[in-house]
Structure 1
Amino acid sequence: MKNPLPLLARRLGTRPWLMRLAKVIIWSDQRLHRWFRGRVSLVGIAGLPSLRLTTLGRKSGLPRSTNLLYFPFRDGFVLVGSNWGRPRDPGWTYNLRAHPEATVAVRGREIAVTAAPVKGEDYDEMWRRLLEFWPGYEMERLAAGRELPIFLLTRR
């Protein structure tokens, strides 16, 4: 039997009230990550691909980590700076622009990556694919009132 949770998560992800739960979801996800040493996340429990991105802070130079939904693409990872529909890009996007070399942890396994912003026609094609994968991105884009940055992370 096919896991029904990804379909349910994708449907819930298009509901505006979900964005109001961002703080609770992020807090819970951070606790799960700590308790299970990176092998469990809320997104993962929902049957969706998740990773922990570690970047260098653009100002501090210190490691900064965040758990994110990702879109598997070829042998890499695609991230969207939706920031739960907020008007400003999330902090990790600024860090990746300043320091494109980063690390992702997938199910507790560390992978060195290099990030590149997706632009132009590639952006349009990737955006179409992303909406098929996670329809809620369109709701978040509209709420944010900005084009959501997309990054392709490739293995080093």
Structure 2
Amino acid sequence: MGIAADLAYRVREPGRVQRVVQVAASSRVGARALSRTLPTLDRAVAHLSRGRTTAAELLAGLPVVWLTTTGRRSGLARRTQLVAVPFRDGLAVLGTNFGQSGTPTWVLNLEAHPRATVTYRDLCVDVVSRPADTTERAAILARAGEVYVGYPTYLQRISGRRVRVFVLERAASS
């Protein structure tokens, strides 16, 4: 079985209101506001629901994983919330940073330390990340637009940097 199956990670069709929220969230103003508020809101909702859901899942129908990386400078565990894209037997993550110009820190951490953990609800899997090759990248980007309507908008808005796309695969047992 793959990582998505092991985590019971499924992308469901968003409801009518959730689609409207997704479109609003992908706008420049919406993305900027969400980049500042969604992490805190997601943590609060996850805490109140005992890890069963997040604000992004309730409001926009987007399942959120928690990616725990190792800080490239500090060596400490760093946790971030992401919408993952099911890809083959694993998951893929995109460093879009809500369509903003800067590369997200978690991307730099994965480049320095490819081992990480992915948690969805109360399930956790050890993974190793690797950059998607050209063919994989095209397939992941196409699938990403099906998962969240904001991804294509973010990609169009980003200039001056290449969005990194990572494939997450199960880590070999040590």
**Aligned residue in 2 for 1:16:** 28
Matched letter for residue 12 of structure 1: A
Counterpart check, 1:82 vs 2:96 = yes
1:72 aligned to which of 71, 83, 86: 86
Deviations 1:114-141 (A, max 9, x none): 1111132322232222223323122212
Mean alpha-carbon deviation: is it higher for 116-125 or for 65-74? 116-125
Q: CA RMSD in A?
A: 2.0
**1:85-96 to 2 correspondences below 5 Å:** 85-96=99-110
Consecutive aligned runs of 4 or more in structure 1 exceeding 4 Å deviation = none
CA contact (8 A) 1:101 1:115 kept: yes
**Aligned residue in 1 for 2:134:** 120
1:134 aligned to which of 148, 157, 172: 148
CA contact (8 A) 2:66 2:79 kept: yes
**Aligned residue in 1 for 2:55:** 42
| CA distance in 2: counterparts of 1:43 and 1:113, whole angstroms | 23
Unaligned runs of 5+ in 1: none
Task: Give 1 or 2: higher strand fraction.
Answer: 1
| CA distance in 2: counterparts of 1:134 and 1:93, whole angstroms | 19
Unaligned runs of 5+ in 2: 1-12
CA contact (8 A) 1:81 1:149 kept: yes
Counterpart check, 1:101 vs 2:120 = no
Matched letter for residue 162 of structure 2: E
**Aligned residue in 1 for 2:169:** 154
Mean alpha-carbon deviation: is it higher for 110-119 or for 138-147? 138-147
The CA deviation at 1:29 is: 1.1
Percent of pairs identical after alignment? 32
Q: Number of matched residues?
A: 155
- Flag the 1:147–1:6 CA change in 2: closer, same or farther, 3 A: farther
Mean alpha-carbon deviation: is it higher for 4-13 or for 20-29? 4-13
| CA distance in 2: counterparts of 1:3 and 1:44, whole angstroms | 9
Which secondary structure does the structure 2 equivalent of 1:92 belong to? helix
